[in-house]
Structure 1
Amino acid sequence: MEVLRRLVNKSLGAQAVANDYEVHAGAVAEAARRCKLSELMQAELESRYVREIQAFKAAKSSLAVAELWVNHLKAGDVAGAFWAALTHPRCDAALQDAMCKDLHMFQHQAGAGVRLEIARFNALAHENAVLTRELGKVQERISRVMVQKTAELDRVQAELLRLRAESIAKDSRLAFWAQDYAELQASIPQLDERQRLQKRIEQLLQRQEEQDQLLADCRRKLQVAERSLLERARTERMDTSTVVGVEGPQVPVRFDHKVVLCVGGRTGNVANYRDVVERVGGRFAHHDGGVEDNAAVLDANLAAADLVICQTGCISHNAYWRVKDFCKRTGKQCVYVENASASSLERKLQTLSTPVVQDEFPEESS
């Protein structure tokens, strides 16, 4: 309508005061004859649909024009194709009538499509209104959250400033204390030497406590050993007075200040093994046979021992063969005890009143 009103004003040389319907009706009436308005409308349509007109020029018959029209009608591009077909030299009355019928039905379909689009538009408008309200609620909620977060941020920043102030105050106090400490050190002569001596005195006092504890343990063990010796001497006197054989009375074995190494055995019986060895005057040493103690330490323990006791029932295979090989090579006396009890060890030691022959080594215990 804007273009048509512009053409009408140009043909009249003035502004038309008619409404849109009157302008439309007048233009249709003027199109029936050749006049300035019809010529302007002809030129406008020719320039507007020049592409479609060029496409229809290739048609050389009414059938070809009809085929082009049908193709454009199926594609929904009817405005330019309708004008190009009507103005084509091969467009006859029958084709014009058919095109008008097609265009009439197309307008009905277009109207239905417009109504459908209007319904869709209204639905979208309703949905847009709902979404707009939801968006407003979300924005309001976000605004509240932002206000809360801003307040929380302000609180955290204030707390941070307070902590920084406290940290600065603590650093200042530490600096003052360090300065006071330096001045105090400078005012006391030989402070470092006194501190070193005080630390040395504390170490010596601690060592003295340990030595006192060790001395008390030794005195207790000595008392136990003295009582044991008295009992043994009394028992020997009784045995000597009652037991007389071809070779005379049996003399109990003594290991005065000899190192007796016990390899293997049960961990819970180690204290009992120690008592048995110390009752005969020996110095007890123990190696667990490679279960927990480092097996590499075994050779050093073997070298330091005067007598080796091998608990064949509770020892690893590797430790057993190391003990056997070491005693064979060095000729060191070795006693093999199959039962891991303390009484079995004591009975075995009583058999050592005479030297043990080193050539007899038992097979490894399973």
Structure 2
Amino acid sequence: MNITLGCAVVSSPVLSPVLLGHFAERAGILPSPRKVLDLSDGAGDRAGGARRERLWELSSNLHCSVIGTCLSTADLRQFFVKLKDPLAKTASEHEIHSLAVAGAGRRDLPGKLLHKLLDKKHETHVRRFSKASTLEEVRALWRDSVEKGEVPGAYWATLTHPATDQALAREAFCEVHMLSHLMGQSNRADIKRLRTLEAELGARDEKIARQEQRLAQMAAAQAALAREAAQLRADLRHALEQSHAAPVEPDGEAGEALRRRLGDEQARSAALAERLVARDAALGESARRIAVLEREAEDLCREVEALEGALASAAEPAAAPDHPLGLSGLRFLYVGGRPKQLDQLRAFADKAGGVLLTHDGGMEETVTLLPGLVSQADIAFFPVDCVSHLASSQVKRLCREAGKPFIPLRTSGLASFAAALDALAAQGAVAAQ
């Protein structure tokens, strides 16, 4: 069955006895004892009393925003579990929200418990706002909380404060409404960047898989070369044993045959020795190539881990720390690279808490700007695959003269920069210990 709850429609095959009355009221079957506050005009004083408003006394127009802003879905689900509602564990987030909005307007046990839950969760803000005695003091506290990003608790404390009038209630409601739009826009931008990073991560995974396949092939080839070299050594030892163990025969045809055989064995031994030297050289070259590939695979793994960390950070809720890498206040200079990636590189630096200065490495900007940029930066980066030799040499020389570190990046990709930031954060953590 479908039941309209003012802000949403809930589809549910079974209704719990606890919430049946709520649905009936929202459908207009039962009268509501709550006090109605019309937000369509600014006339009138909402409260006028000396006590705080109760949840069911607020306008029904405010219940959706109060429940959605001041309580999380986890809070609401746990609340209905405690009420022993059979739908609490299986209902969707939208249904849980709608059930809470329905219960917020009734002066019964669920409504009172919801009010108590809101007071308990936002006790700090309620206590702080209780010290305000005038409308202007409440408005000042509300605006200060919005500036600090402490909207949920301040919203509940403002709406229920006895000094809050119709105009302030409307101001707080409109502020929360617009913040929800801004959050939606921000989430869409984060989703777009997340998809871009996921595509890059997929490409890195494919490259790592190819490198691992090449490493496996090189290891198999090395093992085959080792077996062939061992066989050559065994053949050489056998040939030498035969040549030294051959008895001295008298002159004549038998002696001539032995000398020919000895010459053949010696020639064969020399050929085997040459092949052995060649195989040893090939083995050495293979070992060097494998070592290079292993180092490259390790670099790729570190970059993938850094990219995954960036993805996880981008997916975290807004309550997460702003600068998880602990590089707050540092200035990074990035010389070279691709212009289209600068915004994404700057986003990584901002997320780490730093500020990114850039120089295109001499493509359009003159290298005479580098001394000033190096003097402003705390550390310099440049991708070795996308920077001029002159620019990279200048950065190295200027950093050495100023006693500042510089980090050559393996590539101009985002993953290399993210891995370098992670390495800096790890070094800072070790130094702090």
Q: Which has the higher contact order (CA 8 A, sep 6+)?
A: 2
TM-score, structure 1 as length reference? 0.40
TM-score, structure 2 as length reference? 0.34
